[in-house]
Structure 1
């Protein structure tokens, strides 16, 4: 488990976000150092909407699938808001993810209070032990909170989450270089950003001190877009050739999957 924490100590950890075991296997084969999941992608793949709607039993099963496909790579699970407002219940479910092989989790404040998320983090830490990497997601930018002083508010929340036992701070929606620099200096936690329009590239982010960059739902969203376009075209004219454009062959995809067992 400490190997995942070590990936945040220097440089920039770039995390693609998988939505099932197959996508995790593909990302591993393409050179990912670790695999994270996207709650949106997982939910959509299972026919559910995003937003704490997916039954937690399905999250646990996806964790097992992704851990198996990722093989030797650490896996971080998007745990949304913990699927409960009861810190004890959140901790119980987080423990199940650890037992399924998760090296880390993301858990978000969303529309709730930072004190509630801190209570969840403290309960998870007590239940899961010191090895689990807890990435606290702060939704100040995504939800347009504290528009006059978002860095100050995010730093305030980050301090609360760090005191509760968080290992990282995730601030999706933060893209401005000046604010990124200020945020890096304002938190004691490794800063995680989300791939987002307007965000600088990896080299710039690393130079600014960012320690983690997540694709979020970007890759799965692009996949859905491609699938939608192919489906519409196929329904329209039934032509086979477009289905092969840019596609991986059956044998290549099949070879990515770990053997049964």
Structure 2
């Protein structure tokens, strides 16, 4: 084990995020607090409902993402594993709340199918590896892969948060449902940002591995398996106008500010968000 590997796990007390408190105060079902009756008087437009569905599908994809992470050296990190357990629980119930919004929205019945051929992008080919091959490669990488996992998850949360903010701007009724979700996800961002800063700051090798992952990931994470028309819709609807491009620029600046990542990788992430 080299010095960079040894530096990947700082004592839990060095981080400010309280994982035990996070687990103790985890948010479960939201259905009892949702004001769904307003959608009968002011139905959501088709594009907003389609964005709700896209976000629901992203939240639902958490379980397979965590499964892929936990077959790597990340499963040896008790702090990250404890976070992922509650993170997965909260995202499950966020998806359930979005399901309730879809059930209450007449336009959901007329949405185009989300199925279809996937987009083929050469840079994303590493994400198309099967789970066994991904596991073998990840375990060869060793404990430095934890930095990759927390950083790519952080960037993914930044991207989906931009989508939630776009959705919240549709109407006060939607904002009353989406704003609490954004607050929940802000805790996720806080943990991931702390871990990313710490791990990248301690290891040049972790920086190199993470830069490679950021350059080649499909955004939002899991998009490599989604149909190309759904990916195009998400990019156009969330990042296609002037305010969306400003959001993409904000994400670029945050990525560039991460230790050892730099403006080149950040610009690549931004370019792949834009339609």
- TM-score past 0.5 threshold: no
Q: Whose helix fraction is larger, Structure 1's or Structure 2's?
A: 2
By relative contact order (CA 8 Å, sep 6+), the higher-ranking structure is 2
- Normalised by the length of structure 2, the TM-score is 0.20
Q: Whose strand fraction is larger, Structure 1's or Structure 2's?
A: 1
- Normalised by the length of structure 1, the TM-score is 0.20
